[in-house]
Structure 1
Amino acid sequence: MLILPEDEKYLENATFDEIQVGDSASIERTLTMEDIKLFAIMSGDVNPAHLDEEYAEKSMFHKIIAHGMWGGALISTVLGAKYPGPGTIYLSQSLKFSRPVTLGDTITVKLTALSKDEESHRVKFECVCINQHDKAVIKGEAEVIAPTDKIRRQQVPLPKIRLADRYAGYQRLISMAEPLPAIRMGVVHPVKANSLHGAVHAAEAGLIEPVLIGSETKIRALAEQENLDISQYRLVNTEHSQEAAHKGVELVRQLELDSLMRGSLSLQEMMHAVVKSDTGLRTARQMSHVQVLDVPSYSRPLFFTDTALNINPSLNVKRDIVQNAIDLAKILGVEVPKVAIVSALETIDPILPTTLDAAALCKMAERRQITGGIIDGPLAFDNVISKDAAEAKDIDSEIAGEADIILVPNAEAGHLLAKQIELLADGQAANIVMGARVPIILPGRADSQLSQIASCAMAVLVAHHRLNNQQTV
């Protein structure tokens, strides 16, 4: 059972006989954005004057304001929980709104008993809500039936609510990419609805100019079935998915494409064409997959790597995986990415090779074989996410609780961990392959349209970053 502070354990009312005309009670509240969002969720009132800062700036008040009935709800709070308190029956309420309540305003809600009716046990209250400048924002009257029996009840503890903007991470990526010119993206074998919708929606968002590579007959039939207009997009006809993958890579090598997106073909089939030593898209850096997760319970995006391509990477491959992730994080606005190398132990033990790799990677960073970030490990996952957990284990790490990048021991562990966070912690994922000649995105078959668009946004940011660097060299 939750133990409440002493002054919050019980609610006690004032009976009709105890109420005297002229008696008053008050509470004080400061308006936060969480208050506004909670009220909008509860009421369904999503008026942009309360939630959309850009819209609100152009309104008559030039800033976000509270819902009018937020103040009304505070009056109800006094009546039901404080004075008269439990047992009160709310009959009527008149309200006049004099001034807006804006973010940061502190409102004092004061109720004063005006009259009593002995026969009906009705009580009228004057209701005044005053801001921190001693200006009335709401005035009115309330009528209630006051309780006749004394009530003292233990207060029911309320659940803790954490507000999370479920798609904030996606929107941030899209907003970063929107000012940039669209890139030419080859969409390989988009013969199923999810992959074709993803390409078309990303094009409609102004992020990509899709080049649809695959069976023209199947793609056009699917577009007609899904009511998608693809008439303005280039379509490169191929007989089958394997040919589509090789054609996409060929078009990149011919500088006709800036990026690739996997459509309705397997990861193995797509990457087979990409990694071919003579005709693929290899660079001096090992390719690696980075999954970017926006997790409501964590303060920053989490970059998981490698969760798809390098099944059981060697130490040198891990070095490239870490460097790829650091480069991506910096492109996405993380000034000095913090990299946590996770393992089952926080200490180095030869029995567990991943702890030896962690130690070697940290030394590589000291010797500038890895640059641009701060690296620590081995660390157990709880130490990575929670500073309290690290302190409980006497682990002194500037990464604990503040990690940006998580290097997983292998792709199997990484895939399992990332999927658990997606499904159990409501993590929203976007993904990209780094280390190739161009950014490559590998949407999952169950990925949402917004996830695919966010992945395209990452590809836009990476492609333009590389182009700008080439121009400055």
Structure 2
Amino acid sequence: MTTIRDFAQLLEAAMERAPKRVAIVGAGQRQTLQCIRMAHNMGLAKCLIIDDPERVQRVAAEEGVDVQGMDIIPEGDMGEAAYKAVAMIHAEEADLVMNGRALPVELLRAALDKAKGLRIGKLVSDVSVFEIPDFDRLIFVSDVAIVVSPTLAQKAAIVQNAIDTAIELGVAKPKVAVLAATEMVNPEMPANMDAANLSKMAERGQIRGGFVDGPLAMDNAISLKAARMKGIESKVAGQADILITPDVESGNILAKAISYFARGHMAAVIVGAKCPIVMPSRSDPPEQKLISLALGVYLTR
């Protein structure tokens, strides 16, 4: 399997698995409508819009976006729209879910509902994939959106979800850096101790499919020069594919720092559920939303 190293390759690979039926929660928003129009035109997705039809038609007219050929399921309440999207997955009327203008909590409430949601007995977590200038590979970051303050067991599941996602994108043996403030094991720093335990869990086969090392500071996780200067030698140090953050706050800060300081482009998807849940930022430009959708399409079986 060829390793996907940039978003152009990701889009090309997704097209080979297209089209997929996408239930879109709230498309009455400029960036989302432009995104799904591109996806529809290129044959990436069959778009099933769940929103107020009058709002969708008004925004489409204002922005000059043609919504011909797209199904619009009437529902102006975004909380209810999310539940309709989930029901469409269960009824096999859609293959994956994408958020448009709904608040993330509205979609997640429906997707994670214990009775009606999309849980399949695994931890559900976010995997954000970055294309960063001057990097020869995609960088995966988790979890930046779902598990607020994960326990050690939850962190192990987050690592496994990220490894499985990277493998799907052709990374044969993903290198996972569990991040902390310092690479030295320090019993007074809980995130640092969790990182050390995760490394040992992978060594004992409790996490499978990749190389896991931690604790690693950010510099020696991605810079071979920094790792060598600090005398750190491992299969991960300086060459990580996956960065695991201590909690959602640090993950979200890292993701935005990559986007705004390193000029990285992000595709985001929630994994571990019955289907991929595409969760771009509501402020993302249409082209970036399209890449997130392509990631979701590619991961849909």
Alignment TM-score, normalising by the size of structure 2: 0.95
Whether the 8 Å contact between 1:170 and 1:450 is mirrored in structure 2 is no
Structure-2 separation of matches of 1:450 and 1:335: 28
Q: How far did 1:298 drift? A: 2.4
- SS of equivalent to 2:215: strand
Equivalence for 2:222: 385
| 1:191 aligns to 2:191 (yes or no) | no
Whether the 8 Å contact between 1:202 and 1:208 is mirrored in structure 2 is yes
Q: How far did 1:446 drift? A: 2.3
Whether the 8 Å contact between 2:6 and 2:137 is mirrored in structure 1 is no
Aligned length: 297
Q: How far did 1:366 drift? A: 2.1
| 1:213 aligns to 2:54 (yes or no) | no
Whether the 8 Å contact between 1:341 and 1:376 is mirrored in structure 2 is yes
Q: How far did 1:325 drift? A: 0.7
| 1:203 aligns to 2:48 (yes or no) | no
Selected match of 2:94 from 257, 264, 271: 257
Structure-2 separation of matches of 1:448 and 1:243: 25
Structure-2 separation of matches of 1:222 and 1:450: 18
Structure-2 separation of matches of 1:292 and 1:235: 30
Equivalence for 2:128: 291
Structure-1 separation of matches of 2:288 and 2:170: 19
Q: Deviations over 1:210-266 (max 9, x none)?
A: 100011111122122222222211111113111111111111111111101101011
Q: Which amino acid aligns with 2:127?
A: V
Q: How far did 1:334 drift? A: 0.8
Selected match of 1:248 from 72, 81, 85: 85
Q: Which amino acid aligns with 2:170?
A: G
Equivalence for 1:309: 146
Structure-1 separation of matches of 2:238 and 2:44: 34
- SS of equivalent to 1:235: strand
Q: Which amino acid aligns with 2:120?
A: T
| 1:362 aligns to 2:203 (yes or no) | no
Q: How far did 1:314 drift? A: 0.8
- SS of equivalent to 2:116: coil
Q: How far did 1:297 drift? A: 3.0
Structure-2 separation of matches of 1:201 and 1:181: 13
Q: How far did 1:295 drift? A: 1.0
Alignment TM-score, normalising by the size of structure 1: 0.61
Q: Deviations over 1:54-73 (max 9, x none)?
A: xxxxxxxxxxxxxxxxxxxx
Selected match of 2:231 from 375, 385, 394: 394
Q: Deviations over 1:271-316 (max 9, x none)?
A: 1111010000012211111111111132211100001111111111
Q: Deviations over 1:331-374 (max 9, x none)?
A: 11111110000000112111111111112211221222211111
Q: Deviations over 1:25-47 (max 9, x none)?
A: xxxxxxxxxxxxxxxxxxxxxxx
Q: How far did 1:443 drift? A: 1.2
Whether the 8 Å contact between 2:49 and 2:71 is mirrored in structure 1 is yes
Equivalence for 1:452: 289
Structure-2 separation of matches of 1:268 and 1:300: 32
Structure-2 separation of matches of 1:401 and 1:451: 28
Equivalence for 1:151: none
| RMSD over equivalenced CA pairs, Å | 1.2
| 1:435 aligns to 2:272 (yes or no) | yes
| 1:225 aligns to 2:225 (yes or no) | no
Q: How far did 1:377 drift? A: 0.4
Give the helix-richer structure, 1 or 2: 2
Equivalence for 1:59: none
Extract structure 1 runs of 4+ deviating beyond 6 A: none
Structure-2 separation of matches of 1:217 and 1:265: 17
Q: Which amino acid aligns with 2:268?
A: N
Q: Which amino acid aligns with 1:271?
A: L
Q: Deviations over 1:60-110 (max 9, x none)?
A: xxxxxxxxxxxxxxxxxxxxxxxxxxxxxxxxxxxxxxxxxxxxxxxxxxx
Structure 2: state its 5+ residue gaps: none
Q: Which amino acid aligns with 1:307?
A: V
Equivalence for 2:11: 174
Structure-2 separation of matches of 1:446 and 1:428: 13
Structure-2 separation of matches of 1:195 and 1:449: 6
Structure-1 separation of matches of 2:40 and 2:238: 37
Q: How far did 1:169 drift? A: 2.3
Structure scoring higher RCO (CA < 8 A, sep ≥ 6) equals 2
Structure 1: state its 5+ residue gaps: 1-167, 465-473
Structure-1 separation of matches of 2:137 and 2:56: 39
Give the strand-richer structure, 1 or 2: 1
Whether the 8 Å contact between 1:170 and 1:451 is mirrored in structure 2 is no
Q: Which amino acid aligns with 2:179?
A: V
Structure-2 separation of matches of 1:239 and 1:299: 43
